[in-house]
Amino acid sequence: MLRDVTAVRYVTPLRSGGSVPGVVEADDLGTYVVKFTGSAQGRKPLVAEVIVGELARALGLRFPELVLVHFDPAIARDEPHQELQDLLDASHGLNLGMDYLPGAKDFTPEVAGTFPVDPLEAGRIVWLDALTVNVDRTVHSSNLMVWPTFGTAPPHLWLIDHGAALVFHHRWDASAPEKTYDFRHHALGHYAPDTRAADAELAPRVTGELLQGILAEVPDAWLRDEPGFSTPDEVRAAYVGYLAARVRASAQWLPTDFPSREELAAEEAARAAKTQRGRPKWLKRVPDLHGEPAAEQDWSVHLG
């Protein structure tokens, strides 16, 4: 079961995320990155975080511990920005926290050029993303961290930020379990991910029993008022049924085609040239920022 903690100090917002999560300290002496129920995206990103994150952990992938965070906006009354204060005020009660990895670095294209990743590990991560329809782990925004980055322990890849996964739960009747998605530009695509070996290894482990246990971790409050469902347990059953059906259909959606670094660079150059040709003359001196990798994020600076 996910542990319950109570936030005792609001440290800082993380503006790099669209939902503006925040770093908080809790009564268990831990520090967590919290996603708030009052964000514009609502509660479904939190549901996705629990399902995909706990599934990743069950399959042996590295994912920071999740906790349920009881949050009182009174601890953040010193937040000077009104839009953030409104977000926090709307998030009174139960929110979702992810264990803070001090000093962790973003897995940027620059890092990816030198960081060794085993093809089977890459295949496992791509397989998980394809199963859970997480199309938000790309070469432009990897949602992967390298940690630890100090001391003698070897660094490893850690998965984060699955709020955009499970796209089918936004329109339950519009996405068939066997549907394929484009994973050619996955962040680990140029590591020759062995998705076939990953499928053979992981698919038998994603059982109905495992999925039911993971869905039991999602609080009832985040599953209420779902159109077309009467109770939270009905919503849980829908998630279990969909993901179980998708596992059975893995031969139809399994991604196997990934461009090399050179092919990817050529595609990017062609896209940039096409964008420049379509710009008015006065804009052609402005750099094309579309698809540029985000600046490296060092979580430790937020605790200074």
- Residue 284 pLDDT exceeds 90: no
Q: In this structure, is residue 171 part of a structural domain? A: no
Long-range contacts: 227-230, Cβ < 8 Å, 24+?
A: 228/172
Cα–Cα distance measured from residue 64 to residue 202, given in angstroms and rounded to the nearest whole number: 20
Mean pLDDT of 179-188: 95
Domain that includes residue 22, residue range = 3-100
For tokens 């994150």, what's the residue? 53
Q: In this structure, is residue 95 part of a structural domain? A: yes
Q: In this structure, is residue 24 part of a structural domain? A: yes
Q: In this structure, is residue 83 part of a structural domain? A: yes
- Residue 261 pLDDT exceeds 90: no
**Residues pairing with 147 in the sheet:** 156
Band the pLDDT of 19: cuts 50, 70, 90.
confident
Q: In this structure, is residue 249 part of a structural domain? A: no
Q: Which residues of 109-144 are buried (b: 16+ CB within 10 A; e: fewer)?
A: bebbeebebeebbbbbbbbbbbbbbbbbbbbbbbbb
Q: How many Cα atoms within 13 Å fall on the side-chain side of residue 101?
A: 23
176 vs 278, more confident: 176
Provide φ and ψ at 75, rounded to 5°.
-75, -10
Encoded tokens for 17? 């995320």
pLDDT of residue 303: 45
Band the pLDDT of 270: cuts 50, 70, 90.
confident
What is the number of other CB atoms lying within 10 angstroms of the CB of residue 169? 18
Band the pLDDT of 17: cuts 50, 70, 90.
low
Domain count of the fold of the chain:
1
Band the pLDDT of 167: cuts 50, 70, 90.
very high
pLDDT of residue 171: 92
- Residue 287 pLDDT exceeds 60: no
Q: In this structure, is residue 44 part of a structural domain? A: yes
Handedness of CA 57, 60, 63, 67 (dihedral sign): positive
Q: In this structure, is residue 41 part of a structural domain? A: yes
Handedness of CA 118, 124, 130, 135 (dihedral sign): negative
pLDDT of residue 266: 85
Lowest-pLDDT range of 19-23, 68-72, 251-255 = 19-23
Q: In this structure, is residue 57 part of a structural domain? A: yes
